[in-house]
Structures are given as structure tokens and as C-alpha cells.
Structure 1
Amino acid sequence: MRKEKIIERSAAAVCLLCATMAIFAVMAISIYLLLKGIPAFKEVGIGNLLGQSVWQPTAAQPAYGVQYIILTSLLATCLSVVIAVPIALLTAVFLTEMANKMLAAIVADAVELLAAVPSVIYGLLGMILLNPCLYKLEKVCFAGDKTHQFTGGANLLAAVIVLAIMILPTVISVSTASLRSVSANLRAAALALGSSEEQTIFRVVIPAAKSGILTGIVLGTGRALGEAMAINMVAGGTVNFPLPFNSVRTLTTQLVSEMSYASGLHRRVLFTVGLILYVFILLVNFALLRARKKVNV
């Protein structure tokens, strides 16, 4: 008994140490970003930074407005989630409720492979396959429009499509696990009461698994907000108002594009951009987690 208690206490101590390290990591990141990001707010001004849309850090009179960059990040994330979630949920329903074991195994393996693809590959495929197609569409939509600046297909629409594809595996995997965890008794009870298979799935199984599905949406949203490399390759990289065929830049691509050569105030403002991104991710995750808790009540 004494030996078992020692083992239990040791295991508890190791678990406590790991939990403490996780908390310490979050606090360290938060404190570092606050210390690095707040000074630029004072130098540039919160109104100038968040309320202006012009970004010209190398001009004679530098401008550091991130309004369009923030709008692009939020819009691209929201649109990609709106596109990806229905597809992911229906795929999860197919895997758990409709497909036979062999077909479900094949689709599940394909989803896992999709999750394992590096983001730079998504960006490369977007450049080779997606951008030329969108450029053809752009030429059709803006034929004869002399005011439109053609981007070669590198635009907000390309970024949204790539992001939607990238977050699909995360939402599919978590939703599939949630649907499979629903008790078979619920399905049997609904069918026994005369519900069709489709009614059972959409009125009984999915509502019972909505907490896990929301978790998948939270993880997918976090990935969409934090993605940089693939978006940098397909979105064009220009600070513009986020219209579908405009070349745009997000908070993450802003850091990737300019941090390597930035110095002085320019570098401090980029740390502020990182702080804004960090706060947005925290707020979005907090809001979605609160929604999941309300769903569970």
C-alpha cells in the first residue's frame, strides 16, 4: 500500500508540473506580447493605429493604420468557417451514419492525410491551380473596367477558399468523434417513435453531439485566424479593403511579410499587430467556448 501511495503521489506531482508548465507558457506569451506591443500604442496612438487604413511604414511620413488588415482577418476567417463547417459536418454525418465500414475507412484516411499536408503545400497548390482560375473569373467580371487593379487571381476569395480547405480536417475529425460518442439508445428510441433516418440524424444525433461539434469549430477558427504561410502565397499581400477580388493582407501575413526587415517604430508596431492577433484569438475562442457551455446547460 505504501508503494502504491508513493506511485500515486509521484504521478500527481508530474501531472501538476505539466499543468503548471502549460499555464506558465500562456502567461509568459501574454506578458511578453503586452510588454512588446503596448509601447507602439502610445507612440502611434490607438486611434491612428486602429482607426486608420493606410499602411506606409517606409514613407517620408510613416502611416501605421491596421484597420483594413483587421477587417481582412476577421472577414476571411468568418467566410472560411461558414464554408467549411457545413461541408465538414455533412462529411462527419456520412462517415458515422451512412457509409459502410470500408468506404468510411477510406474517407477517414483521406481526411487524416489532408490534415497532415503542410500549409505551404496548400499555398503552392493555391498558386498553381486556384489563382489562375480566379484570374479568369476576374477578367470576366471586370472586363472593360479600367479602374480595377487585376491581381492575377491572388485575392481575398483565394484566401477564403484555401482557409476553408485547411480547416476541414480539424472540424471533420472532432465532429466525427462527437457523433460516434452519441449513445445508440438515442438512435433506437427515435427510430422506434417513427422518425426517419434523416430525422434521427438531424434532430436527435447532431443536437446530442453539438458540444463536440462546437469544439471542432473552435479549433478550426483558431487555425484559420493563425494561418500565415498559405495565405501569404495566395492572397496577394497588399493592404486593401477586403473585397473578393482585391489583393489583401491579414494580421498573420503582415508579420510574416515585414518582420524580417523592420526596425525601430516599424518593428514595435508589428509587435502590436501580433498582440492584436493574440487578443482576437483569445476573444474568439472565449466566445465560442462560452457558447459551448451554454449549449451544455
Structure 2
Amino acid sequence: MKTKLEFSMKMIFFLTACVSVAAVALICFFMFANGIPAMHKIGFTEFIFGLKWKPELEQFGIFPMIVGSIIVTAGAIILGVPVGIMTAIFMARFCPACFYPVMRHGVNLLAGIPSVVYGFFGLTAIVPVIRTVFGGSGTSILAASIVLAIMILPTIVSVSETSLRAVPSLYFEGSLALGACKERSVFFAELPAAKSGIIAGVILGVGRAVGETMAVIMVAGNQAVLPHGLTKGIRTLTANIVLEMGYAAGLHREALIATAVVLFFFILVINFIFMMTKHSAE
């Protein structure tokens, strides 16, 4: 009886794993089966490095969207990573016990807020400030970077705090025994020891920033042109797909699926970096 039950459970787990793998395989097959022929029709160089996206003229250059995605993500990293890591250090080593639950619940709440709410916050709070200070419409690279920086904070804070708490206390105690102060012990003994976990948290945050759509659409301006400044509008790869897929047909639709293939490649690169980081840490 026990043997049959164990065999049944193994088969259930195996089938569940197969369903997960099959789902990924079907998504990949759909994207590549529709996207690669589109790249061939348009021309790989023209599609990747083309500067004009004008479907009505059958011009499908996504280079401005690639640059837009990279710049917005880089801006989110520059703004969000330092804040996230410093917040994690505070929560792990300097936060008073009475205040920690408030911080913990606040970070968890940030993780659970829908992206459209972040976008609405950016549209009503961040965009008007940028419009007042720098002029223009306010919907810009800067606004999108700030919103994405806020959105990736929960991932970076949670993973970084867990990594810091996983560092053996001997690192901290040994540093104190050698005469270092608490702050120096944390920043020069524990932080380097938790480096791999912190980098993993940053990479996961970058993955969310690259794939984010709704919030970016609301604050980025959605102009399919190369950026000429941080206060100018831009369109990302994800925004381009969402904005036009609803009415696209023919080669236009295939070009949007090919855009998803490029985005999928970016995500694969991020996951590869994540795996290499874990491997080097081990």
C-alpha cells in the first residue's frame, strides 16, 4: 500500500513538472515560430537597428524601444539599488525591534501593490513635479525610472536582508574583536560576505524592471523615438507590444511577436547572469 502511494505521488509530481516545462516550451515555440519569420521578412538588421517604427509604412525598427528599455532599467537600478541595499542593512542590523514590524509590513505591502497603482501614483505625483521643475509634459524617462525604482525595492530589500541575516555571526563578532566599530563591521565584514545574495536580489529586481509594462505606459510618454534627454518621452519594448497588439494584423502583428522574442532574449540573459552569480558563489 505504501509503495503504491509513493509511486502515485511520484507520478503526480512528475506530471506537474512536465506541465510546467510544457508550458514554457509552448510559449517559446509560439514566439519563435511567429517571430523569427517576421525578422526574416523585415530583415534582421533593419528590425533590430532600425530607427523608425511606422507600421502603416511597414517600417518596423525597434532600436529606439531597445534603447528605451535599457535606459529606463538602468535609471531604476541607479535610483533603486542603493536605497534597497541600505534599507536592507538598516532592517537587518540597525532597526530597533519595536520599529522592525512596521518596516517589514511596509516592504511586504510594496510588493503586493498592483503595477497600475504604481503607475497612477507616478502619473499624479511624480509627473507633475517633473513638469513643474523641468517643463514639458512630465511623462519621461526620469518619471519611468523613478516609478520602476520604487517597484523593484521590495525584491532587493527582501533578498538582501535575508542574505545579510544568513551571514554567520562570527564575521561580525570577529570584526568587533579586532577593534572595528559596528558600522565598519557591517559594511566591511558582513556586507562582502552577503555579496552573492545581494547581487541575486538586484538581478531579480532588474528582471522585474525589464518586464514591467502598465506603470511604464502611464508615465513614460510612449514615443517611439531615440531619447534626447531624461525629461523626454520614450517607449519600451513591453509598452510597444501592449499598445499595438490589440489592433495589429499581418506583418505588424508578427513584428510585435518578434519584439517579444527580443524581450525574451533579454530575460534569458538576465537569468543566465543570475545562474552564473549563484554558481560563482557556491
TM score, norm. by length of structure 2: 0.94
What residue in structure 1 maps to residue 98 of structure 2?
Answer: 102
Supply the distance in 1 between the matched residues of 2:175 and 2:24 (Cα, whole angstroms). Answer: 44
8 A contact 1:218–1:289 mirrored in 2: no
What pairs up with 1:1-297 in 2 under 5 angstroms? 3=2, 5-58=3-56, 61-139=57-135, 150=136, 152-242=137-227, 243-294=229-280, 296-297=281-282
Deviations 1:160-188 (A, max 9, x none): 11000000011101111111112222221
Amino acid in structure 1 at the alignment position of 2:48: L
SS in 2 for 1:247: coil
SS in 1 for 2:98: helix
8 A contact 2:196–2:277 mirrored in 1: no
Supply the distance in 2 between the matched residues of 1:189 and 1:226 (Cα, whole angstroms). Answer: 42
Deviations 1:45-82 (A, max 9, x none): 01111121111112xx3211111100110111122112
8 A contact 1:214–1:292 mirrored in 2: no
Supply the distance in 2 between the matched residues of 1:170 and 1:260 (Cα, whole angstroms). Answer: 31
8 A contact 2:200–2:277 mirrored in 1: no
Supply the distance in 2 between the matched residues of 1:42 and 1:57 (Cα, whole angstroms). Answer: 16
8 A contact 2:80–2:152 mirrored in 1: yes
Supply the distance in 2 between the matched residues of 1:197 and 1:8 (Cα, whole angstroms). Answer: 52
8 A contact 1:240–1:246 mirrored in 2: no
Supply the distance in 2 between the matched residues of 1:82 and 1:225 (Cα, whole angstroms). Answer: 14
Report the identity percentage: 37
Supply the distance in 1 between the matched residues of 2:200 and 2:15 (Cα, whole angstroms). Answer: 26
Q: CA deviation at 1:11?
A: 4.1
- For structure 2, the 5+ residue unaligned runs are none
8 A contact 2:31–2:257 mirrored in 1: yes
Supply the distance in 1 between the matched residues of 2:60 and 2:214 (Cα, whole angstroms). Answer: 22
- For structure 1, the 5+ residue unaligned runs are 140-149
